[in-house]
Structure 1
Amino acid sequence: MKLTLDFYTRPQCNLCDEAYHLLQLFQDDWGFELSVRDISTNDTWTEEYGLRIPVLKYKDLLIDEGQFDLDIIRKRLHDLSSEN
């Protein structure tokens, strides 16, 4: 069963676009799906993630934010898949 990760982003965010495309390259290999959440559509998300995007989470667990580090993401996904 694939993990579904929440990817918080907003329009016209170059860092978000780069992170999204990078994650798409590894989706199948790392066994996850992305649920894209546009923070500009939700005031709560804007307040929580506005200055931190892009943000990648699994449920309540922060996986990475800002400038993504693929090694950190890979390790956290490995840890999560071991738990499930």
Structure 2
Amino acid sequence: MTQTTITLYTRNRCPLCDKAKVTLDELKQEWNFKLEEVDIETSDELTERYGLMIPVVHLDGEEVGFGFVDKFDISNRLQEKTKSNELK
């Protein structure tokens, strides 16, 4: 079984991004996933795509949240993903 990956698209000097990181760090205590951070300012394409939306959270490549990242919502998505993987 492959490990779930959460990707956090972020940038420097972004208070919402800092809050999202804290939320995801808290979730890591409950759930087993790999957390990747991507600074959108390293790519013109990412800046264009996510500039007004950050932070953006992807769960295994699927966008599951942006702006204010809700811990309860991400936790539910992780639970759904775990159940789905167990059925495979």
Gaps of 5+ in 2: none
CA distance in structure 2 between the aligned counterparts of 1:80 and 1:63, rounded to whole angstroms? 12
SS of the equivalent of 2:29 reads: helix
Match of 2:7 in 1: 6
Gaps of 5+ in 1: none
Aligned-pair identity (%): 37
| Count, aligned residues | 84
Instruction: Name the Cα RMSD after superposition.
Output: 1.3
Per the normalisation by structure 2, the TM-score is: 0.86
CA distance in structure 2 between the aligned counterparts of 1:73 and 1:29, rounded to whole angstroms? 12
Please list every run of at least 4 consecutive aligned residues from structure 1 whose deviation after the TM superposition is greater than 4 angstroms: none
Give the number of the structure whose alpha-carbon radius of gyration is greater. 2
Match of 2:78 in 1: 77
8 Å CA contact 2:10–2:55 kept in 1: the answer is: yes
8 Å CA contact 2:56–2:66 kept in 1: the answer is: yes
Determine if the alignment matches structure 1 residue 23 to structure 2 residue 58.
Answer: no
